[in-house]
Amino acid sequence: MDFIKLIDSYKYDIIKSTQEIVTIKSVEDEPKEGMPFGEGPYKALEYALNLAKQMGFKTKNLDGYVGYAEFGEGEETLGILVHLDVVPEGDGWIYPPYGAEIHDGKIYGRGSIDDKGPAIACMYAMKALKESKVPLSKKIRIIFGTNEETDWGCMKYYFEHEKSPDIGFTPDANFPVIHGEKGIIKFDLVKDINTNCTNNITIKNIKGGSAVNMVPDYCEVTLETKDTKQVEDAFDKFVENCQYQMTLERKGFTFIIKAKGVSAHGSTPEKGKNAITYIMQFLGTIIDCECDICKFINMYNEKIAFKHHGEGIGCGFEDEVSGKLNFNPGVIRMEDDKIVLSINVRYPITFTAQQVYDGIRENLKGTGIELIEDDGEVKPLYIPKDHFLVQKLMKVYREETGDKESEPLVISCGTYANAMENAVAFGPVLPNQEELFHQPNEFISIKHLLFLTRIYGKAMYELSK
């Protein structure tokens, strides 16, 4: 196909554009005028729309929330839903997280695979279709979201102001095709701290995690005690036995204990090392008290620590279609005489959010811990394997990869496919390829970036011809 040859000729432009957009730190921040999710996401949106204009596409910026680029004619529209915001970079990077440096044929940086690299690949794929003048019966529209990693306010705004595409896909998960996604909820477990420790250790502060949908790679606790030897001895013994990456700093009678974990996507908590859990486990070895905060620590260690599927807290659900529930404690903080633990849950397709909430509340009866729901639920998605969209994309995948064995998947991640009817996730991660979403040293290889441009070009063509 002529447009495939064009894609190959774009190689250096694709690399350059990916590097440029990765250097934009598009983490959600305080809103500004015309920038509802902060300056970083807006700058990424501005970059994408300017690049699209240079490619000759019609573009529209919807008040800084979201934008799109499109070309083609026809009554129907194929939508490609991408996002340009990123999660915080976290620690543990070998190369600068916003440097977009190339090492060993890989572009390193936050957002390189999730989802800026795939977004750029889709733009150049659409450019190749436009310049090759292949006949198409649908318009193709790339929709640029800027708030995917938190509340999807961008997509809510889009669908309030624009007509939905007729069919679509998002390059923000795995190959071959994602035909099902678990439901997603986030909520807080909150306990008032009305009583003080009766032993000789006072917990002054606990804080950890940067986003509820990430396994927290950092947590710290501040303690005060006159029995400094007790804390020092307990810390040395704990670190020796568990070999977690932890440090202790002492200033007089005050200790700051820090834990370093390994970040991972909140949909796969078992792939990370949760720094909150490390701190709570250590505290469990030194507390001996029935105060409010100590009760919360004991609850955490009994019902949450190292239990990635909700099995200890009343929501260990599982079904044949989508497997086990995923349970990620992502952020902890003390504020206003309360301790607050923020949780991200991915629940199986045949269950409901209410069943999760009911199970947890029943399990926590009598603890004084309140569950506060967030209103940003993403309901489960399921499209049958024999659906036209799934079948078309499976055909493209098999032709491009030669993989005849892989079947459509159900995943724990939530994608923009859930924002509209008749949409699925399609890539960018191949079977057996390392998944780097939300992890340090995220990268996309140049070889894979060019492969994505080709496969997305073919997918657009097959769905629009």
Report, as residue numbers or ranges, the catalytic residues: 85, 148
Nearest Cα residue to 206 out of 134, 259, 145: 259
Asked if 120 and 44 touch (Cβ cutoff 8 Å), the reply is no
156 CB-near residues (< 8 Å, 6+ apart): none
Euclidean distance between CA atoms 180 and 182, whole angstroms:
7
321 CB-near residues (< 8 Å, 6+ apart): 180, 348, 349, 350, 382, 410
Euclidean distance between CA atoms 73 and 325, whole angstroms:
43
Euclidean distance between CA atoms 427 and 455, whole angstroms:
10
Euclidean distance between CA atoms 328 and 274, whole angstroms:
9
Nearest Cα residue to 354 out of 319, 381, 317, 328: 317
Surface-to-core class of residue 408, CB atoms within 10 Å of its CB (0-12 exposed, 13-18 middle, 19+ buried):
buried
Asked if 190 and 367 touch (Cβ cutoff 8 Å), the reply is no
Q: Which residues of 87-113 are buried (b: 16+ CB within 10 A; e: fewer)?
A: bbbbeebebebbebbbeeebbbbbbbb
28 CB-near residues (< 8 Å, 6+ apart): 37, 38, 40, 41, 85, 147, 149, 150
Tokens of 122: 């889709």
| Angle at 34 (CA atoms; ends 29, 37), nearest 5 degrees | 25
Orientation of helix 11-22 relative to helix 39-54, angle to 10° = 160
Return the H-helix or E-strand segment holding 65: none
305 CB-near residues (< 8 Å, 6+ apart): 277, 280, 281
Asked if 86 and 163 touch (Cβ cutoff 8 Å), the reply is no
Q: Which residues of 210-244 are buried (b: 16+ CB within 10 A; e: fewer)?
A: bbbbbbbbbbbbbbbbeeeeebeeebeebbeeeeb
Euclidean distance between CA atoms 86 and 88, whole angstroms:
7
Three-state SS at 116: helix
Q: How far apart are the first and last CA of the chain?
A: 13
